[in-house]
Amino acid sequence: MRESTIKEHNRFFLNMGPQHPSTHGVLLVVLEMNGEYVLDPQPVLGFVHRMHEKIGESRPCQGFMPNTARMDYVCALPYNHGYVSLIEKKAGIEVPKRAEYIRVITSELNRVASHLLWLGAYLLDLGAFTPILYGFDDREHILDILEDITGSRLTYCYYRFGGVCRDIDDKFVEATRAFIKRLRKRYVIYEKLVTKNIIFIKRAENIGIISPDMAIRYGITGPNLRGSGIAYDIRKNEPYSVYPEFDFEVPVGERGDCLDRYMVRVREMEQSLRIIEQALDNLPDGPVRSKVPKKIKLTPGDCNFAVEAARGELSYYLIGDGTGVPYRLKIRVPSYSNLSCLQELGRGILLPDLVSIMGSFDLVIPEIDR
């Protein structure tokens, strides 16, 4: 009798967020708890919902470009990339090869910056303060490089229909090469500091295991999926832009736990650097922007374009009606599907493990809420 009263006392609801630092933005997770065990975590979305899809349907397609960078602001260039590629496909616009190379270089730089930020933030969630300082130090170099060429540090609007708005210069190439050299030296520090850290391993190993079947049921993509051993990368599986011209690998994990997701992202950074190096070596000459009609007409019918963002598959699905304004624009964001498995994954685990799992998902809330 007394024992059951204690058990009843132990059951309570806990609001994690919307101001909790480890939710990385304004996300609320309502937790039904039993002591320090989570019985049922329920994410509550919509705090930063801005209805980007409606905005996309209410103005000519050029006007939506700045919005594409305001969903996943940590890795905005692939969002630019997906949208311009979609419109180029729909309106039949040619893109000069040099422009595609520049798009790939800048997108991959942005991916590295995103993974570095994630690395620091994840470790911060687990209580390690130092790595975020190293991560931000390296990421700062990328932001400086990209700022010089795009004019912004976070919410880029650099790509244009038919190319990019500015050509890269020698300073950019030099700085990028110097950064690649620098980051490769820093791996050693990261390895000593984090990867071999016993406390980190204990917090990440065998925690939050995503099985391949679970990935299918929830539509999980990106590093979260590859951690489970499935080598699915849109850059390889559904090649777009000039990615088929580069030699790179798709790192995968084995168990699908937090540690595997960590390892996949760390190894992905090196693959991104490899792509950037090859692109810089073979950078073609020529224009960076083709002639595009002032009024772009989107042919009737629907069209889908998928790209690999830092968090997984980003799909733009557009229905045209012959005018310049999309009739329907659906944006499929990776974190939305990735987070949706939390309710199943988080049942019956310790609260600190839930923090570890959410950190390993690499969530960007404004992307989920759109």
Partner 1 sequence: MIETCEDFKNNVLNLGVDVTETDFNQRGYHLEVALTLNTVREFAQKAYEQGFYLVFVTGFHVLPEEKEGVKFSGLEVVYQFARYDRLCRVKARVSVSEDMTVPSICHIYQGANWHERETHDFYGIMFSGHPNLEPLLLCKEDRNYHPLLKEEEKLKSFETVSWPAKTLESSDAETTALSDP
Residues that bind partner 1 (CB under 8 A): 45-46, 49, 51, 53-54, 57, 89, 215-221, 225, 230, 232, 237-238, 300-306, 313, 315, 317, 319-322, 327-328, 330, 332, 336-337, 340-341, 344, 369-370
Nearer to partner 1, 7 or 217 (CB): 217
Q: CB-wise, 16 or 306, nearer to partner 1?
A: 306
- The alpha helices in the chain, defined as continuous H runs, are 2-10, 52-57, 65-68, 77-91, 97-125, 130-150, 170-190, 198-204, 212-218, 223-226, 234-237, 258-281, 334-340, 342-345, 351-360, 365-369
> In this complex, which beta carbon is closest to partner 1, that of residue 16 or of residue 273?
16
Task: Tell me how far, at minimum, the Cβ of 49 lies from partner 1, in Å.
Answer: 5
Q: Name the minimum Å distance from CB 215 to partner 1.
A: 7
User: In whole angstroms, what is the distance from residue 12 CA to residue 252 CA?
Assistant: 38
| For partner 1, the closer CB: 313 or 353 | 313
Burial label for 170, CB within 10 Å (0-12, 13-18, 19+), is exposed
Do residues 194 and 204 lie in contact, with contact meaning Cβ atoms separated by under 8 Å?
no
Q: How many CA atoms lie within 13 A of 240 on its CB side?
A: 25
Q: CB-wise, 135 or 253, nearer to partner 1?
A: 253
- Give the closest residue to 165 by CA, choosing from 291, 289, 294, 295: 289
Q: Quick one: 156 or 232, whose CB is closer to partner 1? A: 232
- Sorted by sequence, the CB contacts under 8 Å of residue 50 that are 6+ apart come out as 70, 366, 369, 370
Provide the minimum distance between the beta carbon of 313 and partner 1 in the complex, in angstroms, as a whole number.
7
Smallest distance from partner 1 to CB 81, Å: 14
> Cβ of residue 217: shortest distance to partner 1, in angstroms?
5
Q: Round to whole Å and give the CA distance between 353 and 357.
A: 6
Closest distance between partner 1 and the C-beta of residue 216, in Å? 5
